[in-house]
Amino acid sequence: MSETINQKPARLLSLDVFRGATIAAMILVNDPGDWGHIYAPLEHSKWNGCTPTDLVFPFFLFMVGVSVVYAMESKKATLSHSTLILKALQRTAILIAIPWVMQLMFHPDRGFSHLRFPGVLPRIALVYFISSILFLKTSQKTRDWIFAGALIGYFIIMTFIPVPGIGYANLEPETNMGAWIDRLVFTTNHLWSESHTWDPEGLLGTLPAVATGLFGIRVGTWLKRKDRDENVKVSRMFAYGVIAVVAGLAWDLFFPINKALWTSSFVLYTGGLATIALALSYWLIDVQGRKKFTYPFVVFGANAITAYVLSGFIPHYMGMLKIGGSSIYQTLFAPYFSPVNASLVSAIFTVIILWLVMWILYIRKIFIKI
């Protein structure tokens, strides 16, 4: 549904900028002109490790946690918890359904029998819903214990519990505990299309992904405090971020940083970097007042989920357009650039097209709330 906003509520500009920059990055890395020609930093790590692209999704889930604080803190005083949870459940159901509908639209020949159930939007939905409940129903101290329990519990499950049919715990793509659970729950017909044996957004990985959301809730709660000086907030956020990054790198020695598995070390490492990045954004934009560069990112941030959903539709239909019998990519980009640069320029072109759509919504003060 959509609503027209006549008066913009008071909020930190840095949050919209951070969210908008993250969405722009998600679109950029998800829509290259040619998947066979991509600059290394714009690719995900093959398995263990972390590229700049691997930071994009956890940064967004981190901001989901921060946004939960800002969206629900004031509403708790006027709306019942049951009402807020019902609204969160409705949003969760919509976010889960959207990619399923898109798959049926784009690949009607596959039908429901080969629908991929996990995915980016379903993971966002589950993290949002669980984080919302925990924010409403628990104290920060309890959430800290849940955060630690999720990371340690996931580490134990993945590295100590034998995988049925395999006989030993391991962190390989197709034979780890998470892959086994996904095949058991979803069956191979409903997993990632490239292998059908495991899924990078699988069910078990939701546990540490929720921890990423809780990381954002902790930072958002700190950022929203009114009894701390702005400089104190910034310095503490930098300190928390550095500590988390160091802890993640230390844990990486025996539980590797891995986005596909969303390992506990990955949660700490990316959460720490997200905290540092948000602290820098907050200091530059809201404390120092440097706002001239923010507008393009605010446009994306104001309708973040809408931009992401449209990034699945617009490139799909752009790819069907023909100019003189050739695709837009083959006509406008491939003849004039090297393969890797043509792929990058095409991705940037997609970001610009989507930005223009978001800009039209923004100037009309239309903010789509899913």
**pLDDT for the residue 3:** 42
Q: What burial letters (b/e) apply to 82-114, b meaning 16+ CB within 10 Å?
A: eebeebbeebbeebbebbbebbeeeeeeeeeee
- For the chain, the three-class secondary structure string (H helix, E strand, C coil) is CEEECCCCCCCCHHHHHHHHHHHHHHHHHHCCCCCCCCCHHHCCCCCCECCHHHHHHHHHHHHHHHHHHHHHCCHHHCCCHHHHHHHHHHHHHHHHHHHHHHHHHHCCCCCHHHCCCCCHHHHHHHHHHHHHHHHHHCCHHHHHHHHHHHHHHHHHHHHHCCCCCCCCCCCCCCCCHHHHHHHHHHCHHHCCCCCCCCCCCCCCCHHHHHHHHHHHHHHHHHHHCCCCCHHHHHHHHHHHHHHHHHHHHHHCCCCCCECCCCCHHHHHHHHHHHHHHHHHHHHHHHHCCCCCCCHHHHHHHHCHHHHHHHHHHHHHHHCCCEECCEEHHHHHHCCCCCHHHHHHHHHHHHHHHHHHHHHHHHHCCEEECC
pTM, two decimal places:
0.92
Q: Which residues fall within 8 angstroms of residue 22, CB to CB, at 6 or more apart?
A: 56, 59, 60, 63, 304
Q: How many domains does the chain have?
A: 1
Q: At what angle do helices 295-302 and 304-318 cross, to 10 degrees?
A: 90
**pLDDT for the residue 11:** 67
Q: What is the pLDDT of residues 257-313, one digit of tens each?
A: 999 999 999 999 999 999 999 999 999 999 999 998 999 999 999 999 999 999 888
Q: Would you state the structure tokens that stand for residue 93, as one six-digit string?
A: 């159901």
Segments of the chain scoring below 70 in pLDDT:
1-11, 193
**pLDDT for the residue 209:** 98
**pLDDT for the residue 160:** 97
Backbone torsion region of residue 62, taken as left when φ is above 0, otherwise alpha when ψ lies between -120 and 50, otherwise beta: alpha
**pLDDT for the residue 1:** 38
Look up the domain containing 137 and give its range: 2-368
Q: Report angle CA 242, 247, 249 to the nearest 5 degrees.
A: 95
For residues 274 and 254, give the distance between their C-alpha atoms in angstroms, rounded to a whole number.
23
Which amino acid does the sequence have at 66?
V
